[in-house]
A = this chain, B = another copy of it.
Amino acid sequence: MSSNGVAPAGSGWAGPVAYLALLAAGVGLFFLIRTAGEGLTAPPAPDGAAPVGRAVPGKVDVVLHVTATLAAVIALGFALGRAFRYVGQPPVIGEVVAGLLLGPSVLGAVYPPAMHVLIPPASADPGGRVPAALQAVAQLGVILYMFLVGLELNAAQLGERAGATVAVSHASIVVPFVLGAGLALGLYPGYSHAGVPFTSFALFLGAAMAVTAFPVLARILADRGLDKTPLGVVALGCAAADDVTAWCLLAFVVGVARAEVGQAAAVVAGAAAFVAFMFLLARPALARAARRLDAGPLPPAAVPAAFLLVLLSALATEAIGVHAVFGAFLLGAVVPHDTRVARDFAARLRDPVTVLLLPAFFAYTGLRTEIGLLTSPADWLWCGAVILVATVGKVGGTVAAARLTGSGWREAAALGALMNTRGLMGLIVLNVGLDLGVISPTLFAMMVLMALATTVATAPLLRWLAPEPAGRPAG
């Protein structure tokens, strides 16, 4: 036994014997202490103290419910995503449907106790702690995801065909926006209430119709080998321009809806100042920092700083009065995407965000969607009208603009079909509207169905209008 080294195992009898003696002494001593302690008296239990180990009345096990909900929506969403892939649909459809199946629309309507394993009924959770917890996880996921989308945005060759792209993009926003606002004339008397000003209602309906899901679109194009074709490049560019425009529009809508009449201007001015700050000051500073970071090994402060920037941008826009996701998205858009540090950070973030946190958003959306609120034939007719107007506006506006900027009919139609994809972006916009109280739960359910239907329609329309290049199996 050198006094300078640690001894090898099992050196003689002393060790094991002492060890066993120690264990025995430990157990024995604990029982002695226990016997002594059982005789002690503690002060009486304070009023309202829960029995040890029991849930405090009305305090549900938040961790249990959130973990169960996450596990259910990840598993079901992945399985359905695989199934939908077989019929030529993007996986996001599976995730959206999984959220709807687990919520009150299906599981809650068929067998409520099963849904209550995931989300306890309001009677067991009067404070709404579980939905709040799920919302926090979901919004964290959406904030980080929108940051990633903003980063990807740069990757699209947005600037290369700027003229045609901007024209098609704006047409594909203006036409559904106006038609959506027009539809508000029909929906307002039946599906709103006097507390909602018509202007907010119409602006929001227009914005919800005008949105396009850039990331879903990118996935559909890549799946079909179209992302490098002229059609694919213009479609990606348009969708990117659409996203920027639609989010600015939404920021404006939220500003108007949230603020008092006198404060609306302040919100809009705040948002404009934030955009100006991000493009004029943050963008060059971030570009300089990123190039400098690319030159050497990554300092330990880089990762916390990156997360902090995302959170602070989200916080800034939320505090200004527009939505948190807008700030995260804008930060992603102004970060130079072609630097090593940006690519590395995005690559590390992608799996935890898209696979773990974002499913919470689908579960949260599904939880809030009650398709059962659509009861009368009139409700379903209006729902059909919403889907029809959204599709006609988006496809029509895109086709007309594409034709006017010189595309052939076929390309124009394919572009129209692509731009009609609402996907995840549509759901984010709708949740904002429901949070604000601008749309009712009934209208929210209609619009969720609209977002789902337009996304589902994209792949078949595209397959019909723009068959896959030779050498790939036709869908």
Binding site for B on A (CB under 8 A): 1-11, 14-16, 18-19, 22-23, 25-26, 29-30, 33-34, 36-38, 40-46, 49-54, 56, 59, 61-64, 66-68, 70-71, 74-75, 78, 82, 126-130, 132-137, 139-140, 143, 161-165, 167, 170-171, 174-175, 177-178, 181-182, 184-185, 188-190, 192-202, 206, 230-231, 233-234, 254, 257-259, 301, 303-304, 307-308, 311-312, 314-315, 318-319, 324, 347-349, 351-353, 355-356, 401-402, 404-411, 436-438
Known: A19-B170, A71-B311, A132-B132. A348 touches B352 (CB 8 A): yes
Tell whether, in the assembled complex, residue B355 and residue A307 are in contact, meaning their CB atoms are under 8 Å apart.
yes
Tell whether, in the assembled complex, residue B139 and residue A136 are in contact, meaning their CB atoms are under 8 Å apart.
no
Chain A binding site: helix, strand, loop or mixed by DSSP?
Answer: helix
In the bound complex, CA of A204 to CA of B246 (Å):
55
Known A19-B171, A63-B136, A137-B137; 15 more pairs at CB < 8 Å: A6-B233, A9-B165, A22-B175, A26-B175, A30-B178, A43-B189, A50-B195, A52-B197, A63-B135, A67-B139, A68-B315, A70-B140, A70-B311, A71-B315, A352-B352
8 smallest A-B Cβ distances: which pairs? A127-B127, A9-B163, A7-B406, A3-B408, A133-B136, A129-B132, A53-B258, A45-B195
In the bound complex, CA of A193 to CA of B52 (Å):
10
Contact of A193 among B46, B64, B136, B352 (CB under 8 A): B46
B residues in contact with A70, CB < 8 Å: 140, 311
In the bound complex, CA of A64 to CA of B135 (Å):
11
Chain copies in complex: 2
Known: A8-B163, A193-B45. A127 touches B133 (CB 8 A): no
In whole Å, how far is A81's beta carbon from the nearest beta carbon of chain B? 9
Tell whether, in the assembled complex, residue B199 and residue A161 are in contact, meaning their CB atoms are under 8 Å apart.
no
Tell whether, in the assembled complex, residue A9 and residue B164 are in contact, meaning their CB atoms are under 8 Å apart.
yes
In the bound complex, CA of A140 to CA of B141 (Å):
13
Tell whether, in the assembled complex, residue A194 and residue B33 are in contact, meaning their CB atoms are under 8 Å apart.
no
In the bound complex, CA of A402 to CA of B11 (Å):
12
Tell whether, in the assembled complex, residue A52 and residue B196 are in contact, meaning their CB atoms are under 8 Å apart.
yes
B residues in contact with A405, CB < 8 Å: 6-7, 9, 11, 15
B residues in contact with A15, CB < 8 Å: 163-164, 167, 404-406
Tell whether, in the assembled complex, residue A318 and residue B63 are in contact, meaning their CB atoms are under 8 Å apart.
yes
Known: A6-B411, A303-B355, A351-B303. A324 touches B64 (CB 8 A): yes
In the bound complex, CA of A319 to CA of B312 (Å):
37
In the bound complex, CA of A463 to CA of B132 (Å):
46
Tell whether, in the assembled complex, residue A194 and residue B26 are in contact, meaning their CB atoms are under 8 Å apart.
no
Contact of A401 among B19, B51, B52, B201 (CB under 8 A): B19
B residues in contact with A66, CB < 8 Å: 136, 139-140
Known: A38-B199, A171-B22. A67 touches B143 (CB 8 A): yes
Residue of B nearest to A439 (CB): B52
Tell whether, in the assembled complex, residue B132 and residue A19 are in contact, meaning their CB atoms are under 8 Å apart.
no
B residues in contact with A230, CB < 8 Å: 5-6
Residue of B nearest to A345 (CB): B351
Tell whether, in the assembled complex, residue A37 and residue B198 are in contact, meaning their CB atoms are under 8 Å apart.
yes
Contact of A74 among B10, B11, B16, B307 (CB under 8 A): B307
